[in-house]
Structure 1
Amino acid sequence: MALTLAVGGGAYAAFGTGGRAKPAPSSTPAVTARVTKTDLVTTTSFSGILTYGSQRDLKAGGTGTITAHPPQAGDTVRRNQSLYEVDRVPVVLFYGKVPMYRELKKGVDGIDVVQLTENLRALGYDGVSRAGKFDAGTEAAVKRWQKRLGVAQSGVVKPEQLVFRPGSVHVTAAKVQSGDKIEANAPVLTLGSDRRIVTAQVKDDMRAKLKQGSAVKVSVPGIGEKPGKVTKITLAAAAGDDEVPSGATPPEDSKATVEIDLDGTVGTSTQDQLPVTVTFADQVTRDALTVPVEALVALREGGYGVQVVTGSGKKTVQVTPGTYADGRVALTGSTLTEGTVVEVPANDQ
């Protein structure tokens, strides 16, 4: 009589009444496999959301009325394009890491002036300073730029007329519409970088398996699998509590926010806030001696074994199963060697 035992997701059979498992007679030809040495990797998955990185609100630099339709969610704004318009004056995007915080005019110097002149050169305006000084040549170039924008040619760039961001931006939300009256510091748009990231909320037991720099794979619907890397892990307390300081022990019901950078581009046509699946290796067993999971048989006296096929027949060798992954199992504490032939019993239904 055959006894079937489910272990580790596979089915194993013990036969006979003696101390060793003996296969029952069968007309099915025996299937064999070799013991191989390989790395076994077990994986864990969790859900995440594909979105845009570095999201934050863009606030109005002054008061007035929105006089043109601002970009809408999903739009990308690039260098020298208008983010919004107040009292018929466009607020323009230039590239730079230092925010626009003062008037830029003849006589001033600094890194913000360098950013301004670099953008003007990129747009084809010549004669601007290369030394970070707002000189007469820079003033003349600013006036030509203002003329092309259709605004007063003052040669002075005011903080409420220019926004510096490190690169092109993606609009994730529009806070105003044409005709709205706004006050200074009122949110106008929510902007993110054009860099796509994945964010996820994971429980503490899952977070403990991750660390900054951990490699992951992200399954994106309609695109496929993309490699990625954990770039940030933020511990947070339960709802209503303050954020947990770095290094502190969070409460049992806390979750962590995990941020993942994708290696490779994801087109802007791929929707924002798209659910994705993140997979990572939580255990790696290197140079393991492995056999197909189906090669394991449960022994009557307890434990597991494999049927080793030799030139004169076969014999049962007791083994200790280790890691299961990809349809194979690592064997530990056995006398088997790489290349040994084992029987893979048929799984009769």
Structure 2
Amino acid sequence: MLVLAAGGGVAYALYGTGGGVEPAASSAPAATAKVTRSDLVTSTSFSGTLTYASQRDLKAGASGTVTAWPPKTGDTIRRNQPLYEVDRVPVTLFYGEVPMYRELKKGVDGIDVVQLTENLRALGYDGVSRAGNFDAGTEAAVKRWQKRLGVEQSGVVKPAHLVFLPGQVRVADAKAQSGDKIEANSAVLTLSSDKRVVTAQVEDTMRTKLKQGSAVKVSVPGAGERPGRITKITLTAAESDNGTSPGAASVEKPKATVEIALDGTVGASVQDRLPVTVAFADQVTKDALTVPVEALVALREGGYGVQVVTGSGTKTVQVTPGVYADGKVELTGSDLTEGALVEVPAT
């Protein structure tokens, strides 16, 4: 007779392990499962936040009044589009790794001039220098570009009116609105990449299990599970535990910031700063002999067994459970072979 162990998901077998064929408890056929060999993966999870990569504040290049509504949160700004407008002059985005740090005008040269001319060529302006110097042809192209923007055609590009960034950006937050007075070096916009990442704070005990480059799975509410990979692990300052008793020494808990890049995209409709769950493989047991966890029965004399289906009934075989994962359990210390059928009692 089989009796279900309360809450345990394991049945009790009220007979020994002599190996004899036992009479069926019911005429109804029991569910069965095969003994299989597979890799068992145990997972550990932690909480994180889905956000956009490379967030940074864009500072104003000069003081003045914001004279047009800045882009809205979620807008994408591309080459030659205005990031915002001050005193009726647009602050325009060009692509480049080196920030705009000086006036670009006839007679100067350098990598920032190369960036300027590459952007002008990409926009269809010809006659610009290819040697990294601001020559007469580049000055003429700049004047044509300024005319199209509707600003003074000086042939001089000022840091207050042009921003170099590595590529297109997403507006994460608008910190100024039309009519606001702003000061030089004050934050106007918060910008980010359009790529999604997950960031998480983990304690040191968890950090020691993680490795840069390791694969993870991210559960995104409303968007399902997404594969990802750990791209960065950064140690952060320890925090004191305020829960210690009066007079006791504070306990420092080392923390780490983990950044995870997602493989593939997440729809724009999925909100920013969404709480997510990150799961990673904590332990992998290769080529394990396994059965469903429900196939285990607790034996009267102690330990566990499974009911092996034979030609004329079943027999109890004592087993030693190993790793549990994905609804399966590893069996060790038995004569069971791959392909054998075992009963899976109803739970």
Same fold, judged at TM 0.5 (above): yes
Q: Which residue of 2 aligns with 1:321?
A: 321
Counting only pairs closer than 5 Å after superposition, residues 286-297 of structure 1 correspond to structure 2 as: 286-297=286-297
Match of 2:74 in 1: 74
Distance 2:13 2:252 in 1: 43
Structure 1 unaligned runs (5+)? 242-250
Distance apart, 1:312 and its partner CA: 4.8
Partner of 1:174: 174
Instruction: Please give the secondary structure, in 1, of the residue aligned with 2:160.
Output: helix
**2:331 corresponds to 1:331:** yes
CA deviation profile, 1:43-84 (whole Å, cap 9, x unmatched): 223222211111111111112222212123222211111111
CA distance in 1, matches of 2:50, 2:108: 42
| CA spacing shift, 1:219–1:333, aligned 2, 3 Å | same
Which residue of structure 1 lines up, in the alignment, with residue 235 of structure 2? 235
Question: Are residues 165 and 318 of structure 1, via their aligned partners in 2, closer, same or farther at CA, if it must alter by over 3 Å?
Answer: same
CA 1:14–1:237: 2 relative to 1, 3 Å:
farther
Per the alignment, residue 309 of structure 1 pairs with 309
Is 1:12 aligned to 2:11, yes or no?
A: yes
Is 1:101 aligned with 2:101?
yes
1:240 Cα deviation after fit: 7.4
Describe the shift of the 1:325–1:187 C-alpha distance in structure 2 as closer, same or farther (beyond 3 A).
same
Could you say which residue in structure 2 is the equivalent of 1:245? Answer: none
1:151 matched residue in structure 2: 151
State how many pairs are aligned.
336
1:220 counterpart = 2:236: no
Q: Where does residue 258 of structure 2 map in the other structure?
A: 258
Asked if the contact 1:19/1:300 (under 8 Å) is kept, the reply is no
Q: Deviations 1:6-31 (Å, cap 9, x if unpaired)?
A: 68x63222213x46596772233133
Contact 1:81 1:92 in 2 (8 A): yes
Is 1:124 the counterpart of 2:124 in the alignment? yes
Shift of residue 276, structure 1, vs aligned partner: 2.1
Give the whole-Å Cα distance in 1 for the aligned partners of 2:66 and 2:158.
Answer: 18
Secondary structure of the corresponding residue to residue 145 of structure 2: helix
Alignment match, 2:282:
282
Q: Mapping of 1:56-71 within 5 angstroms?
A: 56-71=56-71
- For 1:69 and 1:89, locate their aligned partners in 2 and report how far apart those are by CA, in whole Å: 13
Q: 1:252 to 1:39 in 2, by over 3 A?
A: farther
**Cα distance between partner residues in 2 of 1:27 and 1:91:** 82
Separation of aligned partners in 1, 2:33 and 2:266: 41
For 2:24 and 2:341, the matched residues in 1 are separated by 20
Residue 270 (structure 2) aligns with? 270
Q: Deviations over 1:152-174 (max 9, x none)?
A: 11111111111111111111122
| Structure 1 contact 20–300 (Cα < 8 Å) conserved | no
Q: Which moved more, 1:102-111 or 1:291-300?
A: 102-111
**Which amino acid is the alignment partner of residue 117 of structure 1?**
T
- In structure 2, the residue matched to 1:248 is none
Q: Work out the CA distance in 2 between the residues paired with 1:302 and 1:23.
A: 21
Provide the rounded CA distance (Å) in 2 between the counterparts of 1:293 and 1:87. 71
Q: Contact 1:213/1:230 (CA < 8 Å) preserved in 2?
A: yes
- 1: CA distance between counterparts of 2:82 and 2:156? 18
Is the partner of 1:316 in helix, strand or coil? strand
Segment of structure 1 superposing worse, 201-210 or 61-70: 201-210
Change (3 A) 1:122 1:6: farther
* % identity of equivalent residues: 78
Q: Which amino acid aligns with 2:12?
A: A
Aligned to 1:187: 187
> Does the residue aligned with 1:317 lie in a helix, a strand or coil?
strand
| Inter-partner Cα distance in structure 2 for 1:64 and 1:2 | 82
Secondary structure (helix, strand or coil) at the match of 1:255 reads strand
* CA drift at 1:252: 4.7
Distance 1:23 1:48 in 2: 53
Which digits, 9 at most, give the CA deviation of each residue in 1:82-103, with x for residues without a partner? 1111111111111111111111
Give, in whole Å, the separation in 2 of the partners of 1:104 and 1:13. Answer: 83
| CA deviation string 1:173-218 (max 9, x = no partner) | 2221222222221111111111111112223333232221121122
Bigger Cα displacement from structure 2, 19-28 vs 80-89 = 19-28
Could you list the runs of 5+ residues in structure 2 that have no partner in the other structure? 242-250
Confirm or deny: 8 A CA contact 2:17 2:316 kept in the other structure. Answer: no
* Corresponding residue for residue 137 of structure 1: 137
2:32 is matched with 32
SS in 2 for 1:159: coil
Tell me the distance in 1 between the aligned counterparts of 2:3 and 2:318: 18
